[in-house]
């Protein structure tokens, strides 16, 4: 399918970007360690806590405040695990597409400038538009792959956790929207945001640090839920996703307008 969408030159560029990202220790570890920690490590840790903590350590009042009477037949451990998987884990999971997109895009865009190879690429017969599209596609594909693998790991651990703790099955409409709609939007947001700032950033590390600006609003959205200010309903997530998609289109076009040979080499 990729061969139909991209020319041989564009595919070669995507493959090269993957190799380059993989060959950089810091970038590789960011792309592996963080998703594994967020999708596997923390849920596993919480599951162990839920199973091993003595009942008197669990604060029933706190769960009731967050859940209300929605889980009357579920025991305390199940409620605790449900809170974790439905109120906290979405925020952790949303970090994965965003951070893997910004990390890979910082390497693919800023890294080319840093290593002096952007000029070499601009001397190829690929137009600036095709270069841009191939790099955005490559970073998005990589981030999408990481997100998917992370979700599969999370799904396995959390399903086991739901069975062990007696919590209801975690996968709800909210999760469906998060995984299948919001994650791709966050992926594209991370990539195009990095393209926007690539002109100003001199190094990959600097670009990765600046990417914190877009992580913050996403975190705040879910922090509101954890603190009990509100519970994100499916239609809220859908609205946020639509807003993200709109921002993606805006930034994509804006980012592309900045992607000229002269600006990239400045």
Partner 1 sequence: MDAIQAANLTKKFESVVALSGLDLTVKAGSVTGYLGPNGSGKTTTVKLLTGLLQPTVGDSTVLGLSSSKESEKIHAQTGVLTETASCYRHLSALENLQFFGALFGLPAAQVRARADYLLKKLDLWEVRNRKAGTFSTGMKQRLSLARALIHSPKVLFLDEPTSGLDPESAAGVNRMIADMACAEGVTVLLCTHQLRYAADICDTFAILDRGRLQASGTLEDLVAAAGVRPVASFRVAQDAVLPEDLTQNGECWEKDLDSEAEMPALVTALVSAGVSIYEARIRRPSLEDVYFTFVQEGGGKEADRDAS
Which parts of this chain interact with partner 1 (CB under 8 A)? 7-9, 11-13, 16, 19-20, 23-24, 115-117, 119-127, 261-262, 265
- Structure tokens that stand for 146 in this block: 């990481």
Q: What is the DSSP letter of 124?
A: S
Instruction: Closer to partner 1 by CB, 24 or 159: give it.
Output: 24
- Closest distance to partner 1 from the beta carbon of 105 (Å): 18
- Closest distance to partner 1 from the beta carbon of 19 (Å): 7
- Closest distance to partner 1 from the beta carbon of 126 (Å): 7
The 10 Å CB-count burial string (b at 16+, else e) for 218-247 is beebbeebeeeeeebeeeebeebbeebbeb
- Closest distance to partner 1 from the beta carbon of 112 (Å): 10
Instruction: Closer to partner 1 by CB, 110 or 232: give it.
Output: 110
| Cβ–Cβ < 8 Å for 31, 103 | yes
- Closest distance to partner 1 from the beta carbon of 134 (Å): 10
Instruction: Closer to partner 1 by CB, 13 or 87: give it.
Output: 13
For 238, residues 6+ apart whose C-beta sits below 8 A from its C-beta are 177, 181
For 237, residues 6+ apart whose C-beta sits below 8 A from its C-beta are 174, 177, 178, 182
Instruction: Closer to partner 1 by CB, 15 or 200: give it.
Output: 15
Instruction: Closer to partner 1 by CB, 18 or 234: give it.
Output: 18
| Cβ–Cβ < 8 Å for 114, 205 | no
Q: How far apart are CA 102 and CA 93, in angstroms?
A: 15
- Closest distance to partner 1 from the beta carbon of 108 (Å): 13
Instruction: Closer to partner 1 by CB, 17 or 248: give it.
Output: 17
- Structure tokens that stand for 183 in this block: 């994650």
151 closest CA partner among 115, 100, 201: 100
240 closest CA partner among 254, 224, 256, 264: 224
């Amino acid at each position: 399918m990729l061969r139909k969408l991209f020319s041989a030159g564009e595919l070669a560029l995507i493959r090269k970007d993957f190799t380059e990202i993989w060959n950089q220790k810091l970038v590789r570890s960011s792309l592996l360690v963080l998703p594994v920690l967020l999708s596997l490590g923390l849920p596993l840790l919480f599951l162990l806590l839920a199973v091993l903590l003595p009942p008197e350590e669990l604060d029933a009042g706190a769960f009731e405040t967050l859940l209300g009477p929605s889980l009357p037949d579920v025991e305390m451990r199940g409620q605790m695990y449900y809170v974790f998987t439905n109120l906290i884990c979405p925020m952790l999971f949303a970090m994965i597409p965003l951070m893997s997109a910004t990390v890979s895009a910082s390497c693919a865009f800023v890294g080319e400038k840093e290593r002096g190879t952007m000029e070499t690429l601009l001397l190829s017969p690929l137009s600036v538009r095709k270069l841009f599209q191939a790099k955005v596609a490559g970073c998005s594909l990589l981030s999408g792959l990481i997100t998917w693998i992370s979700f599969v790991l999370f799904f396995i651990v959390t399903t086991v956790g739901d069975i062990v703790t007696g919590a209801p099955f975690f996968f709800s409409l909210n999760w469906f929207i998060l995984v299948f709609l919001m994650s791709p939007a966050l992926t594209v947001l991370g990539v195009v945001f990095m393209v926007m700032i690539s002109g100003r950033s001199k190094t990959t590390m600097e670009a990765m640090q600046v990417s914190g600006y877009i992580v913050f609003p996403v975190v705040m959205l879910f922090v509101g839920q954890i603190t009990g200010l509100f519970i994100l309903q499916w239609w809220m997530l859908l609205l946020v996703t639509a807003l993200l998609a709109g921002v993606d289109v805006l930034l994509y076009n804006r980012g592309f307008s900045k992607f000229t040979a002269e600006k990239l080499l400045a």
